[in-house]
Amino acid sequence: MKQFCDYEGSTYRADFWEGQGREYEDRVERAALHSLLPAKGRRLLELGSGYGRLADLYAGCQHVILSDRAFSQIKQARDRLGGDPCFTFIVADAYALPFVAGAMDQVVSVRVLHHLVDVPAAFAEIARVLSRGGTYVTEFASKRHLKAIARYLLNRQPPITVGSQRANPFSPDPYEFAALNFDFHPRWIERALQQAGLKVEARRAVSHFRVTSLKRLVPLGLLVAADRALQRAGAVWPWTPSLFIRARKP
Ligand SMILES: C[S@@+](CC[C@H](N)C(=O)[O-])C[C@H]1O[C@@H](n2cnc3c(N)ncnc32)[C@H](O)[C@@H]1O
């Protein structure tokens, strides 16, 4: 079994989303996901859905499967959304999805890849369960973001917590900045998708203004609108900490 980041019993929702002033991140991620998701679909799988933060965005889909490795996260999702017959809740590992080949029209994963030790294996599994023509929308943490580049150029890097890597934002290899928390180079992710047989067709750069002082000073609506306006163009040479990609199984 591969190592995994254990969210069992975690207070992720309360601690990360509700107590930390991350409304900006939540709103800009929703905007990116909304712009990349096909308007309609038959069957959508969200992998690593947690408590179902993004579930309302799947309203255009007939059947939505929320899955996560942590039972307690899926239980929270079911407590929130279980009354809606469109949803099914499944405890499942990204490396061994309990579905037959070609079962899904859409797969989504947001804030999950950064916990995976073996992204290529997860991509292979996602490609297997996708139908022909099906889409995979994913978010990942980029190592080539503006703060990391500035720190690197000024030689002001945070202390290394895992291994002996120097945080070089331009090197292609994943960077494990804390145990089971990885930042990825955009090209590395795209190559891994390609190797899994998934063709990248759209990109979004997200969270341009993830800076505490900016978030404090600038009205939220304005910051969100500015980020949305930049998401598409910013993806040409992205320098944001979060990137979204839509890939298709040809
Ligand atoms: C940071 S949370 C993101 C939750 C949700 N996608 C969101 O954006 O709010 C990461 C989630 O990925 C799940 N996860 C981590 N490793 C996994 C794996 N190998 N298979 C399935 N889920 C996994 C965790 O249990 C956790 O719920």
Predicted confidence (pLDDT) per residue in 229-248, tens digit = 999 999 999 999 999 999 99
Assigned CATH class of 12-248:
alpha beta
Average confidence (pLDDT) over 43-53: 98
Q: Where are the beta strands (DSSP E) in 58-127?
A: 61-68, 87-91, 104-109
Indicate the domain borders of the chain.
12-248
| Virtual torsion, Cα 5, 197, 165, 140, nearest 10 deg | -50
Average confidence (pLDDT) over 197-208: 98
Q: What pLDDT score does 165 carry?
A: 59
Beta carbon of 111 within 6 Å of any ligand 1 atom: yes
Beta carbon of 242 within 6 Å of any ligand 1 atom: no
| Closest C-alpha residue for ligand 1 atom 9 | 53
pTM above 0.85, yes or no: yes
CB 140 within 8 A of CB 122: no
Q: In the predicted model, is pLDDT for residue 162 greater than 60?
A: no
Instruction: Place 1 in a pLDDT band, splitting at 50, 70 and 90.
Output: confident
Average pLDDT, the chain: 94
Phi-psi sector, 157: left (phi>0), alpha (psi -120 to 50), beta:
beta
Cα 187–Cα 189–Cα 195 angle in degrees, nearest 5: 100
Neighbours of 31 (CB within 10 A): 19
Q: What pLDDT score does 179 carry?
A: 92
Predicted confidence (pLDDT) per residue in 113-152, tens digit = 999 999 999 999 999 999 999 999 999 999 999 999 998 8
| Closest C-alpha residue for ligand 1 atom 11 | 48
